[in-house]
Chains A and B, each alone.
Chain A
Amino acid sequence: MTLSRRPRFKISRGLLYTLLIVSSAVMAFPLLFMFLGSIGTTADYTRSPWLPIPSVPTLENYAIILNPGKTDVWKWVANTLIRAAWYIVIPGIISVLCGYVFAKLSFRGRDAAFTFLLMSLMLPGIVFQVPTFVMMARFPLAGGNNILGQGGTGFINQWPALLIPGLVSVYYIFMLRQTFYSIPADFEEAARVDGAGTLRCLFSVYLPMLKPVLTVLVIFQFVGIWNDYIWPLFVTSGNPQIYVMALGFQYLQQAGNSLKGLPNTVTDYPFTFALAACSILPLVIMFLFLQKYFVEGVAGFAIKG
């Protein structure tokens, strides 16, 4: 009798591979189409709309997009990176501290505070985004506002609006708390016998053990901020200087023809493709190198939670 490790379904290997290959190809098709289209011309795309195989592959679109003299792409990328760093460091610190408090300290009111924080996971972001927009617009003594927040535009179209909201991420506090739970108290006790204080324990004892979960935090915050569109659209659509990548690309994609000095007779889709490719490639490369952490980040919360 042979025992297979996994259940055998009535489906042959050949059929399994065929289904997988065909369905995966369907999933990959739009991205493949986009990459091929981005290294061709409008003519290539019109000639063979099934799959725009370029007659002469060209990196012209990429050269224009990445040329600082022609576009603001690098500035937008820099803005996005500044935001990403901020939204990794601050929520990271907050999550580690809170995770420690909720898992390793016991005091009255702790669970009430945790439940209070958990509320935000249940509501859609828009419930607090609209009033937060008003708060930013009516921020006292900012952007021409008086002390009552009247008269000016507050932080709208200014950096603080992109950096103030959303610094407490309950999702990561929850994840860190679960991780702290899984670390036995012995490590901290040993360090305390040697005279270490709480901060010392956090940095020297716990931090090395938190590396995997913090890697997950860094990756997912990065992906989230890299693609963030809704909030920057709400608060910065009037100031191209502080556009983030996703917002800037949306405006830039109509500019393909004029950047090439061509008349606007046909839509320059290859340019749109190249822009999209630029926004996706960094994340794809990241995914290929850090696949393990991506999987852990998606699944870890569900399994541990």
Chain B
Amino acid sequence: MIDATTSNITNVHVTDTLSRKEAFRRWRYRHRHAVEGWTILTPILLYYGIFFLFPVIASLLLSFMKWSGLSGSPEWVGLANYRRFLSDPTYITIIVNTMVFAVSILIVQTALAVVIALMLNAKIKGRGLFRAAWYVPTLTSAAVMAQVAFVFISPADGVINMVLRQLKLPPIIFYTQVDWMRVIIIAYSVWRGVGGAIILYLAALQGIHPELYEAAQVDGANGRQLFRHITVPLLAPMTVFVLITGIIGTAQIFETVMFLSKGGPANLTNVLMLQIYQDAFANQSLGLASTGAMILGLLLIVFSSINMRILSRGRVGN
């Protein structure tokens, strides 16, 4: 430091600030990571706390309360909402429906995705075109496209019934027949959902080194053995990913049911998301809606951990 040699009072003062500045600069440099990290993270974590953590806690608390959300204050009702969900036949049906839809859509979708991805992974011409045919449906809006799907099943002037009439067959009134509605909801969901899984499996298949197959072929393995001992085990990690991210999507089925069946007939195709929506906005019962949301969250956690448990044993796809 230049000023250190002089004994001038002002200079001492300047030295002091300079060294303090210097010290701060050094401190800041030494803690650069923490300073910059927290400068960036603090507002983001604050926002996240307000718009994620707080709502989740509020949801949890509201699930023990009765509240219209419009006026008055919430009233503590303990486990009454949960008891309703587990004893009211309607709500039990809704929970079961959600699980049945989520699992069946996921299974159909994943199985189909594996088959299609294997076919697309073969040396074929026009792969881009085929891939587009399978992927474009995922780009459609669930709400807008469900209205097109509804045209197909509309009772009097729907596509399917007009075709049946031309064939001199009796019409099917789809939305009074629960089995038909289930099949249609599953088919529509798979149509919109399978594309993403195909892309994932294609990526996994293309990540398998050709040398593995070549080495096995040199050792005399046939096509089936190659598939059984190389393709299947190497697709397992992707299957974990597809099933876990998949269940999070399929368990939240909403627009499809809302537009195709409105939950009918007699709630037999109703699902949690739709019931939560109705409880919250039509019935103004935020407590029940929050309980539904908590139950859906719990189901997802249970599903995901079961998936992981099963798949970590490596028994999938055999």
Contact = CB atoms under 8 A, between A and B. Distances in A.
Interface residues of B, number: 101
28 contacts: A4-B217, A6-B121, A7-B223, A9-B223, A10-B224, A23-B116, A30-B152, A30-B191, A101-B40, A113-B45, A116-B45, A122-B301, A123-B56, A126-B276, A126-B293, A130-B59, A130-B62, A130-B286, A133-B280, A134-B286, A168-B52, A266-B157, A272-B151, A295-B131, A295-B202, A299-B200, A302-B241, A303-B207
B200 A302 contact: yes
Given A3-B214, A164-B51, 11 more contacts: A20-B119, A24-B129, A27-B133, A124-B252, A124-B296, A126-B296, A129-B55, A227-B142, A272-B151, A295-B202, A299-B202
B154 interface: yes
A27 B157 contact: no
Interface residues on A, range: 35 or more
Interface of B, helix, strand, loop or mixed by DSSP = helix
Contacts of A131: 54-56, 58-59, 62, 290
Contacts of A34: 148
Interface in A67-125: 94, 97-98, 100-101, 105-110, 113, 116-117, 119-120, 122-125
B64 interface: no
B180 interface: no
Interface stretch (B10-18, B80-88, B158-166): B158-166
Nearest to B141: A227
Contacts of B69: 133-134, 137
A132 B52 CA distance: 9
Please indicate which of the listed interface residues B122, B204, B210, B227 has the most CB atoms of chain A within 10 Å of its own CB: B122
Interface of A: 3-10, 16-17, 19-20, 23-25, 27-28, 30-31, 33-34, 46, 49-50, 94, 97-98, 100-101, 105-110, 113, 116-117, 119-120, 122-135, 137, 164-168, 198, 223, 226-227, 229-230, 234, 245-247, 249-250, 253, 266-267, 269, 272-273, 275-276, 279-280, 283-284, 287-288, 291, 294-295, 298-299, 302-303, 305
Given A6-B121, A124-B297, A226 B133 contact: no
Given A126-B293, A134-B69, A168-B48, A267 B154 contact: yes
A249 B144 CA distance: 7
Interface of B: 31-34, 36-38, 40-41, 44-45, 47-48, 51-52, 54-56, 58-59, 62, 69, 116, 118-124, 128-137, 139-145, 147-149, 151-152, 154, 157, 159, 162-163, 166, 191, 196, 199-200, 202-204, 207, 210, 213-214, 217-218, 223-224, 226-227, 230-231, 238, 241-242, 248, 251-252, 254-255, 273, 276-277, 280-281, 286, 289-290, 292-294, 296-297, 300-301, 304
